[in-house]
Every structure is written in structure tokens, then in C-alpha cells.
Amino acid sequence: MNINGYLDMTDKIVIITGASKGLGKGMADMFAEARAKVYLISRSEELLQANVKSIKARGGRADYVAGDLNLNSFIHESVLQIRRKENRIDVLVNNAGIVVPKKALEITEEDWENTIDTNLKSVFFSSQAVATVMKDQGGGKIINVASVMGAVADVSISPYCASKGGVIQLSKAFALEWARYNIQVNAVAPGYVKTEMNSEAFKSEFYQNYILNKIPQKRLGSIDDIAGTAIFLASPLANYITGQTIFVDGGWTAQ
């Protein structure tokens, strides 16, 4: 089989959380281009509808489920709904995430709980629900979106750093438990990619220069850089890779 065959996702059922915009939307688009059927999940039903419509207009296959991933009941209902409809789930991409840009002395209990619930708790319970399906069907791929800030750190985002460090460790723990079920669990750790989440910060020339000076390649990452890594980890090319974190960061963490 040639390389294109390995990257062909035809008839694969792929769930992507946090898929209303940014990295999640970009990954949904790329998986759809690879001929997977993509299920987009987030709170924003209007954006999800637009994304699904766009994918279908290009000849792809997509559907969505709108709701709050911080609620375990919603997670399990969504997975059950997709399993009943498709009879399998091949890939889960846990991408939903938030950041609260405040100094540690200003963080409230609500800030902490919102960040941990969205960035870490939802990853655990989404993975748990989908892994139950994958175990029964003989395998699958789980890809967790971490961050360079899970390995290094920066000021004014301490709960985010803690949550993404947790994602990296959780990916290892899942990989060890579920290897016997032929479920590969890995993480993608993006460096700085300009998305809706950080677009306001990048309007500052000082901030943009501060970030670029830390990146050996002297450029921001692109959504395609991250989506391409996710496609690789979801493909048969990565069947012997599990428990790993791939830093897609222009060299940031090599320093």
C-alpha cells in the first residue's frame, strides 16, 4: 500500500471535541478531506451547523452534537448516540479547551474549576466513554490535544499549564491501560498557533515579538501543522506509537 493509502480515512468514524472553531474546526476539515465521517462536538450549535454545512458542500461527510462537555451525562449520551448510528467509533480527538489569562494571585476558584473541567476532566470522561466502544470493537485511536505549556510554562496561565500537563500524563496512563485492547492513545502538543482563542493577544506587537523570539523557526504554527499530526496519529502509520506526546512547536521545547 502506498503512503496515500495509509493516510486514507475512508469510512472511519471520527469524533472531534471543541470543533466549532480554531484547531478543532481545522482538524475536522482535514479528517473530512481524508474521507472520514466526522462528528463535531461543542457548545455552539450555530457554528457547528455552519461547519458541517461547509464540509458537506465540499463533498465530505459530517454531523454534529451540541452540548456541554463539562457534563458527564452529555458526554455519555453523545457517545451512545453516535455508536447507535454508526455502530463504531474509530478515532476520538479531545480538543476542547479554554485559557484564563490571569496572574496566579488573581485566579478564582471558578477560573480554576472551569479550566480543569474543560481541559482535563472532559478529556478523561470522553476518553472513558469512547474507549468502552473501542474495546468492544477491537481497537481505535485517541488523540489528546495538550500544549507546549504542559511541559514548560509561562506567566499568567497557571491553571492552563496544570491542565495541559495533566493531559500529557493522562495520555500515558490511558495508553498503558488500554494497549491490551489495541487502543493507541497519544497527545499532540501545539506551540503557538493563532486562533480565535488568542487573536486578541496577538494584536499586541510586543506580545507577538515576545512569542516569535522564543520559537527557533521564527514563525507561528498553522492549524494545518496540528491537523496533519493528528491525521498521522490516527493512521495505521502510528499503530506502534502509544503513550507519546508530539510537540508541534517550531522547536520551542528543544531549547
Distance, in Å, from the CA atom of 29 to the CA atom of 60, rounded to the nearest integer, reads: 9
6 catalytic? Reply is no
Cα 39 to Cα 28, 30, 153, distances in angstroms? 8, 13, 32
Q: Which residues of 135-154 are buried (b: 16+ CB within 10 A; e: fewer)?
A: eeeeebbbbbbbbbbbbeee
Q: With DSSP H G I counted as helix, E B as strand and the rest as coil, what are the percentages for the chain, rounded to 5?
A: 50, 15, 30
Rg (CA), the chain: 17
The length of the chain is: 255
Grid cell in block for residue 32: 473530512
What are the beta bridge partners of residue 142?
Answer: 92, 185
Cβ atoms within 10 A of the Cβ of 191, count? 23
| Catalytic residue chosen out of the listed positions 39, 64, 160, 192 | 160
| Sequence-separated (6 or more) residues with CB below 8 Å from residue 3 | none
* Amino acid, res. 239: N
Active site residues: 160
